[in-house]
Amino acid sequence: MPLGTQPATPRSSLLESIASPADLRQLDPSQLSQLADELRNFLISSVSRTGGHLSSNLGTIELTVALHYVFNTPEDRIVWDVGHQTYAHKVLTGRREAMAGLRQYHGISGFPRRSESDYDTFGTAHSSTSISAALGMAEAARMRGEDRRAIAVIGDGAMSAGMAFEALNNAGDMENLNLLVILNDNEMSISPPVGALNKHLSRLLSGKLYNGARKIGKRFLENLPPPVFELARRTEEHVKGMVMPGTMFEEFGFNYIGPIDGHDLESLLPTLQNLRTLKGPQLLHVITRKGQGYNLPEADPILYHGVSRFDHTAGIATGKDAKGGGKLTYTQVFGDWLCDMAAADERLVAITPAMREGSGMVRFAQEHPTRYYDVGIAEQHALTFGAGLACEGFKPVVAIYSTFLQRAYDQLIHDIALQNLPVMMAIDRAGLVGADGATHHGAFDISYLLCVPNLTIFCPADENECRQMLYTAYQHDGPTAVRYPRGSGLGVTPQAVMQTLPIGKGEIRRNGNRTALLAFGSMLGTALQVGEELDATVANMRFAKPIDRDLILRLAGTHDLLVSLEENATIGGAGSEIARVLHEAGKPTRLLQIGLPDRFIDHGDQAQLMAEIGLNAQAIRQRIEEAYQPNS
């Protein structure tokens, strides 16, 4: 019975006995449904206390149990795609108690990590990588003569990306591989799924008419003599190929099986057991439901996709009941600006690679449906699609996370910047993102954008500046990138009237002595705090490219020490650009570059992470004081 109205009190008579999949495989198959129920209750209770991804994990419980029961993990390799559906996998592989620290500072990750467990065979958090990785593992086993399987569990949203099809194309051309691809069709990714392929899959593969007729026909044909049954089976395959995507996968060289109910262990177990004996590339299509067994996420899987701590009996507060901090988030600032700008300019079109909710585009999609394009998990296509629109006089705005823009770097350079097209990139989650960790931190965008010709890089320091910079970038006749962090700003109310800012010009926010802090974007608030404590000058640099050369040289001429502050990798970042300006001008001014260190930063509370890496006010002040020591 669906949960949600009563407390989900974990029953652990079976679950507590499972320390590894080896223990799971000692159970009788008849016990697995009870284990799945206990696991579901445990996850609801656990995630409600820690936060994390909920809907997707409730939808893969039976599939996870069946995979670890049938396959000899970790000898058999499972690669999860995307990795936010692996909580049940973590619990069954010895991390049940560690779930209390899920996504918390020094706790376990919300995604698979090779350093965390032998059962996490491949680190995943970006989509559509599983088939490629599993194919590499399967080929390694073949080359070594090892009899083990590689399984890629990929969601229907992730299957929309080109990389998945590149891997399918490669796999189908390789012989004697023990590769199983499981298409987990839950009829939605983070945002509702888009694209012709997804619609075709959802409509045909889960159609009651087709599956009902198939079951009736099978019962009838099983009573026929073997030669007649075989002829009917072959005829069915040809007819199925007219309407079913199985033929498409078979053209790639895969043996297609399905669809089957991904919550029905009586179907999953024998199917997986049979597939384990087959050679060559196999593709199993399972139908699952996000939020399965818990009525709140079943009713609103998007709301319960990524959750903070909540009362699992009452559910997540929404509307007037939701608690807000009073400050706008940068994502909200962008969403409001996008709607205002679209009302003023019919040339504006908005593009997202499957991140409508996360990028703040829900309202725009409702108000301007004919100018809204969700292209699916296809970042490369998103940028080049925007470039094509720009060629025809439209003004594309591509809303994309910093970490996902990395996936479309060639398109940014070759298709947009080289042709100097007015495509605007609204880069959300620039800097540290907190609990999602290293795979999602926007740690590198200034570094990888600085070297691209024709590109202007905006670094807003507060909510109003973000709105005005979005407007300025939109008006600019060339490629632009406006990077802003996750979460709330400084509490500055955005002005309704939009004005263009002078490109490449910073501003002095505080006058002081000896030390000048040159802050980029989100670091301005911290810089002002340190400036007050040390009586230092504080500059809001505003632009990483073109950088304000005149301001830098003026500060270098009147201060003993310049300090660059950025929430980006120090190597190749904005501080490096300041160093280049000083070097070219022959200025011997001392420069202290402070930013993200040369390592991947783990997950945790953002304040804890900033303190750990030395980007909070106390650590910055200490480094400046040390710089003035005689031996520094």
The residues annotated with a catalytic role in the active site are 290, 379, 407
CA 5 to chain centre: 31
The length of the chain in residues reads: 632
Query: What are residue 81's DSSP bridge partners?
Result: 154
Question: Cα-flanking dihedrals φ and ψ of residue 458, to 5°?
Answer: -100, 140
**What distance in Å separates the CA atoms of residue 59 and residue 55, rounded to the nearest whole number?**
6
State the DSSP code for 14: T
348 to each of 337, 341, 356, 390, how far by Cα in Å?
12, 8, 16, 10
Angle at the Cα of 122 (from 598 to 486), degrees rounded to 5? 50
Determine the Cα–Cα distance for residues 102 and 467; give it in Å rounded to an integer.
35
Element (DSSP H or E) covering residue 263: none
| Closest to 180 in 3D by CA, of 57, 278, 95 | 278
Neighbours of 429 (CB within 10 A): 28
* Secondary structure of 390-459 in HEC code, one letter for each residue: HHCCCEEEEEEEHHHHHHHHHHHHHHHHCCCCCCEEEEECCECCCCCHHHCCECCHHHHHHCCCCCEEEC
8-state DSSP, 110:
S
Contact 274, 38 (CB under 8 A): no
Q: Which amino acid is at 585?
A: A
Task: Please list the residues that pair with 182 across neighbouring strands.
Answer: 153, 284
Q: How far apart are CA 307 and CA 317, in angstroms?
A: 11
C-alpha distance from residue 320 to each of 48, 308, 316, 323, 368 (Å) = 21, 18, 12, 8, 26
Q: Which two tokens stand for residue 421?
A: 């097209």
Strand 77-81, strand 150-155: pairing: parallel
